[in-house]
């Protein structure tokens, strides 16, 4: 079955691309291994950043047309990729580490593994690839991309960019049934996507004894304490929850309020959510574009209806938008029951879930009452108290008075069912190297 590029704002089919069979996959990997690793990688990363900035509008338009992200957010995604490349162009993470022992000399050196396979999602079609590929390429590896089947044009354009800047990079348009074959042909695998798919990738990697990094789903808590700046917290919650039409693993999935602030927070939050402009994502000022696929919108509405049936209060939205495309109204569910699907499953769309804690201790309990552990956000004017409380939340990152985000300078990843391993910073490079001990007597 071909990979189909479809405009989610209109339902129009833009293009179709044939998939590789096993013979084509074998040939493609052989060709990738035959490419020279970029020797002057830092210079090439600088060139890649320059190309991204010069061609920002072109790449942003492709993102918007193919997966529905508002054009302003799409430009920001492209610029973030450029910033990432600039970060790696300015640093050397591979200097040997000298270690004093009873040898004449001893050190640790960092050598590439070979080919790293990246299995990437559609929601940030450029950033997710760059976040995985750039550290792996920095270590001297080649990179093989299996992108999501609904963004083939982005996948092929990303390959062009990396190749033109001198990197051993290939895109493979393959069906899911060839994923394990691709893993067996690679030397390591990095995956970003759903928990269910991540478990399958981890099993395949295990059977083939391949190192893997998994960045999976999230149900990030966003805790607002009684002494928080309520206006700032409400604004940040809107930005976090509704960025990319809510289709983000690190969005504020569960907003947890302590006693005494619920009414004020909900007033400000609702006012902001209802002011979000829905429409054509190619139009400047559009805040909420379509969801990426019709089946994703249908699943989201099933989760919302389940929550309402179990007693949740539908504050605003909570229904699809009629007409062409896959739009869903920005929505708020208040006082959500503990057995609702929106708390037990990842909610990947423009729906905010509000919970009311009995006290701060209960807020921590609610925050940890999930199988996920990607990020967490805590809001308070007492920074020390917020950090002490946040240290008890089971997550890969803690943001105090800020929304969760990824940053090239810091490691990114989760715990529990949100996966394992880290991307970005020096840690992302070290995930895909042979850490080799050298002892000389």
H/E element, 105? strand 105-112
User: How many helices (H) and strands (E) would you count in the chain?
Assistant: 15, 20
d(CA 310, CA 117): 42
Sequence-ordered list of residues with C-beta below 8 angstroms from that of 255, at least 6 positions apart, any chain: 222, 224, 237, 241, 269, 352, 353, 354, 355
DSSP string, 369-429: SSSEESEEEEE-S-HHHHHHHHTTS-SSEEEESS-----TTS-B--EETTEES-BSHHHHH
For residue 69, how far is the Cα from the chain centroid? 14
**Domains of the chain, CATH where assigned:** 3-216+418-440 (3.40.605.10), 220-407 (3.40.309.10)
| Residue among 215, 248, 217, 202 at smallest CA distance from 428 | 215
> Which is catalytic among the residues 77, 159, 195, 215?
215
Which tokens sit at 62? 């492709």
How far apart, in Å, do the first and last CA atoms of the chain sit?
Answer: 59
Q: Tokens 């009414």 belong to which residue?
A: 263
Write out the E strands in 238-391.
252-257, 313-316, 331-334, 351-356, 372-373, 375-379
Burial 358-376, CB ≥16 within 10 A → b, else e: eebeebbebbeebebbbbb
pLDDT of residue 207: 98
Using 50 as the pLDDT threshold, list the residues of the chain that sit under it.
Answer: none
For residue 112, how far is the Cα from the chain centroid? 25
> Which is catalytic among the residues 85, 249, 286, 318?
249
pLDDT of residue 39: 78
According to the 3-state scheme, what is the secondary structure of 182-233? Answer: HHHHCCEEEEECCHHHHHHHHHHHHHCCCEEEEECCCCEEEEECCCCCHHHH
d(CA 168, CA 79): 22
pLDDT of residue 268: 98
User: Active-site residue 284, yes or no?
Assistant: no
User: Active-site residue 274, yes or no?
Assistant: no
pLDDT of residue 337: 95
CA atoms within 13 A on the CB side of 215: 25
- Helices 56-67 and 71-89: angle between axes, nearest 10 degrees: 130
| Residue among 142, 40, 137 at smallest CA distance from 84 | 137
pLDDT of residue 37: 78
| 413-436 confidence digits (pLDDT tens) | 999 999 999 999 999 999 999 999
């Amino acid at each position: 079955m071909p990979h189909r590029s479809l405009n989610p704002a209109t339902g129009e089919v833009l293009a179709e691309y044939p998939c590789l069979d096993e013979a084509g996959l074998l040939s493609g990997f052989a060709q990738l291994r035959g490419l020279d690793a970029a020797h002057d990688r830092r210079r090439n990363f600088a060139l890649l950043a320059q190309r991204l900035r010069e061609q920002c509008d072109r790449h942003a338009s492709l993102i918007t047309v193919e997966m529905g992200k508002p054009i302003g957010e799409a430009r920001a995604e492209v610029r973030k990729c450029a910033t990432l490349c600039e970060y790696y162009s300015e640093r050397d993470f591979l200097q040997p580490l000298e270690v004093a022992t009873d040898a004449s000399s001893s050190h640790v050196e960092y050598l590439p593994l070979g080919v790293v396979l990246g299995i990437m999602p559609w929601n940030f079609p450029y950033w997710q690839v760059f976040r995985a590929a750039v550290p792996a390429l920095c270590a001297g590896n080649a990179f093989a991309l299996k992108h999501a089947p609904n963004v083939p044009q982005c996948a092929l354009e990303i390959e062009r960019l990396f190749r033109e800047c001198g990197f051993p990079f290939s895109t493979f348009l393959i069906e899911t049934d060839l994923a394990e074959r691709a893993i067996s042909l690679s030397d390591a695998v990095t995956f970003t996507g759903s928990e269910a798919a991540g478990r399958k990738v981890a099993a395949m990697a295990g059977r083939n004894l391949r190192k893997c990094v998994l960045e999976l789903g999230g149900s990030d808590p966003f805790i607002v304490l009684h002494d928080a700046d309520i206006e700032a917290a409400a604004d940040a919650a809107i930005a976090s929850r509704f960025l990319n039409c809510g289709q983000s693993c690190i969005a504020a999935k569960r907003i947890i309020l302590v006693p005494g602030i619920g009414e004020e927070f909900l007033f400000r939050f609702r006012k902001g959510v209802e002011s979000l402009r829905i429409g054509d994502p190619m139009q400047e000022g559009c805040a909420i574009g379509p969801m990426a696929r019709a089946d994703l919108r249908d699943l989201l509405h099933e989760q919302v209806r389940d929550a309402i049936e179990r007693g949740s209060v539908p504050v605003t939205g909570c229904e699809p938008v009629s007409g062409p495309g896959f739009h869903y109204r920005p929505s708020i569910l208040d006082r959500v029951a503990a057995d609702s699907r929106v708390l037990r499953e990842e909610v990947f769309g423009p729906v905010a879930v509000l919970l009311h804690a009995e006290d701060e201790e209960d807020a921590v309990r609610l925050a940890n009452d999930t199988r996920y552990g990607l990020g967490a956000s805590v809001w308070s004017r007492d920074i020390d108290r917020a950090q002490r409380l946040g240290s008890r939340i089971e997550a890969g990152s803690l943001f105090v008075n800020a929304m969760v985000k990824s940053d090239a300078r810091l490691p990114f990843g989760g715990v529990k069912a949100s996966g394992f391993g880290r991307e970005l910073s020096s840690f992302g490079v070290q995930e895909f190297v042979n850490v080799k001990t050298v002892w000389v007597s």
